[in-house]
Each structure stands twice: as C-alpha cells, then as structure tokens.
Amino acid sequence: MTRKGGVRERLLRTAADLIWDNGYGAVSVDQICARAGVLKGSFYHFFPSKSDLAVAAIEDHWRRSRAEKDLAFSPLTEPLRRLSAWCALVRENQIKRLKSKGKVVGCPYSSIGSELSALDERVRLKCHEMAERTCLYVETALRDAQREGRIAPGDPRALARELYAFVAGTVQQAKIDNDLAPLDRLEDGVFRLVGLPALADELTQ
C-alpha cells in the first residue's frame, strides 16, 4: 500500500470507528485526524468535507464486511439456513463490538442514517443503499425458499424489506437498551414473519 493509500485508509477506518461509536454529530474532523495521526491538511487532500469522508467510510465498511455476508448468504446453503446465518452474523458482530467498546453500538448504517436523515441527503442515501444491498441478499434467499416450496408464495422483495426492518429495529432497540438480550430472539421473529414460527430452534441447533 502506498503512503497516500495508507493515510486515506487510516482516515476511513478511524472515521468509521469514531462515528459508529459516538455518532456523526459528536465527532469532529480534528478528532478524526488526531486519532488517525493525520494532519488536517492531509484530510482535505482526500476528502472535501466530513460528509464526503462519511460516505466513503460507509462504503469501505461494507467492502470490509462483505465477505461475511457472502458466506452467510452463500447459494450453496439451504435458503432458510441463510436467514438463520444472517441473524447469527448480526448477533456476533454486536457481541464483538460490545466486548471491544463496552457498549452496544447498533448498526452503523441505521444509526448514521437515522441521525442524518433530515440533515445530509448524501449520507442518508448512502445508508439507504447499504440497506438495499442487504435486502437483496435476503430477497434472494426468500425467492429460493419459495421456489423450493419451503415458504408460501408471495412478494419476496416486500418480505425482505419487512425482515430487514425487523432485524434493524431489534438491533436499534438493543442499542437503546445497551443490552444484547433482544438479539437472542432474532431468529424467532424472522421465522415468524416468513410463516414458520416453529423453525427457528431447528435451524439454530
């Protein structure tokens, strides 16, 4: 990695961590630069504004976490087990963050998107895009489950968004409570919404 690439990478990772942990409004460019060990002039060489950095950091976070999602939603895995793996991945990531930060931090896309929904359209749209990408994984799993006759026919796109809203909302509630207990029932809620309430225990064994 070139030196310039290393500086940009540090800014992206530092911004993602600070904003995820503390909120966009609570983090300044000066704080990001200080934590990353980067001069403020170097910051503006790469990013015209804090908003531009946030958009790039969101995309970078997705890029770094995509392999986990690809594995959870592998087409080689039975479609309903993909939904269970998704719930497990969400829970595992929150557990890791709790251990390293000492608090429940929630979903970065939902947290930043909610905070800036009426303040920064570019950031809002980027967070919306991240949600849509996850919904596509879920939609494919639902479509495959319908094709195999595992769940009732219907609109997989609409159901995927309903499932995403449930999972994202549960994660946000865990953040508000600063307690991961709500995430213990993610599978129960997901399989209840797809019409298979008795399946959660079977798929998580």
Which pLDDT score is estimated for 113? 87
Q: Place domain 54-204 in its CATH homologous superfamily.
A: Tetracycline Repressor, domain 2 (1.10.357.10)
Question: For residues 114 and 183, what is the distance between their CA atoms, to the nearest angstrom?
Answer: 20
Instruction: Summarize the confidence of residues 181-193 as an average pLDDT.
Output: 95
Domain borders along the chain are 54-204
- Is 97 in contact with 79 (CB distance < 8 Å)? no
**Quick check: 106 and 183 in contact, CB under 8 A?**
no
Looking at residues 199-205, what average pLDDT do you find? 60
The answer, yes or no, to whether residue 197 has pLDDT greater than 90, is no
* Global pTM value: 0.89
Q: Can you give the pLDDT at residue 91?
A: 97
Percent of the chain with pLDDT over 90: 77
Residue 204 pLDDT level (bands cut at 50, 70, 90): low
State both tokens at 56: 């790039």
Q: Is 68 exposed, middle or buried (0-12, 13-18, 19+ CB in 10 A)?
A: middle
| 68-72, 75-79, 186-190, 193-197: least confidently modelled range | 193-197
Structure confidence at residue 94 (pLDDT): 95
Mean pLDDT of 66-78: 97
In this prediction, residue 2 carries a pLDDT of 38
- The more confident residue out of 134 and 19 is 134
pLDDT in the model for residue 90: 97
